[in-house]
Amino acid sequence: MSALFSPFTLRKLTLRNRTVVSPMCQYSAKHGLANDWHFAHLSRFGLGGFGAVVVEATAVVPEGRITYADLGLWSDEQIAPLARIVDFLHTQSTAAAIQIGHAGRKAATPLWWRGGFTETEAEKPEVGFEDWQPVAPSAIPHASSPDYKIPRELTVDEIASLRQAFVDAARRADRAGFDIVEIHGAHGYLINEFLSPIANKRTDAYGGSDENRMRFLLEIAESVRAAWPEDKPLFVRLSASDNHQDGNGVDFSIRLAAKLKALGVDLVDCSSGGFDGARFDPAPNYQVPLAAALREGASIPTMAVGLITDPNDAEDIIASGKADLVALGRGALDEPNWPLHARLSLEPSRTAYGDWPKQAGFAVSAMDRSLKQRGFSSR
User: Could you read off the pLDDT of 292-333 as tens digits, one per residue?
Assistant: 999 999 999 999 999 999 999 999 999 999 999 999 999 999
In a domain, 363, yes or no: no
358, part of any domain: no
How far apart are the C-alpha atoms of 55 and 123, rounded to whole Å? 27
Cβ-based neighbour number of residue 70 at 10 Å:
23
Q: In this structure, is residue 334 part of a structural domain? A: yes
In a domain, 366, yes or no: no
Distance in angstroms (rounded) separating the CA atoms of residues 28 and 113? 11
Beta bridge pairs of residue 53: 21, 96
The domain of 184 spans: 8-347
Residue 378 lies in a domain: no
pLDDT tens for the chain, 379 residues long, are 899 999 999 999 999 999 999 999 999 999 999 999 999 999 999 999 999 999 999 999 999 999 999 999 999 999 999 999 999 999 999 999 999 999 999 999 999 888 899 999 999 999 999 999 999 999 999 999 999 999 999 999 999 999 999 999 999 999 999 999 999 999 999 999 999 999 999 999 999 999 999 999 999 999 999 999 999 999 999 999 999 999 999 999 999 999 999 999 999 999 999 999 999 889 999 999 999 999 999 999 999 999 999 999 999 999 999 999 999 999 999 999 999 999 999 998 888 999 999 999 999 999 999 999 998 986 5
Classify residue 288: in a domain, yes or no: yes
Looking at the domain assignment, is residue 329 inside a domain? yes
- How many domains are contained in the chain? 1
Residue type, 97: A
* Nearest in space to 33 (alpha carbons), one of 74, 88, 87: 74
Give strand ranges (E) for the chain.
Answer: 8-10, 13-15, 19-21, 52-59, 95-101, 135-136, 152-153, 180-185, 234-239, 267-271, 302-304, 325-328
Q: How many helices (DSSP H) and strands (DSSP E) are in the chain? A: 12, 12
Residue 290 in any domain: the answer is yes
State in Å, rounded, how far the first CA of the chain is from the last one. 16
* CATH code of residue 84: 3.20.20.70
Instruction: State the pTM of this model.
Output: 0.97
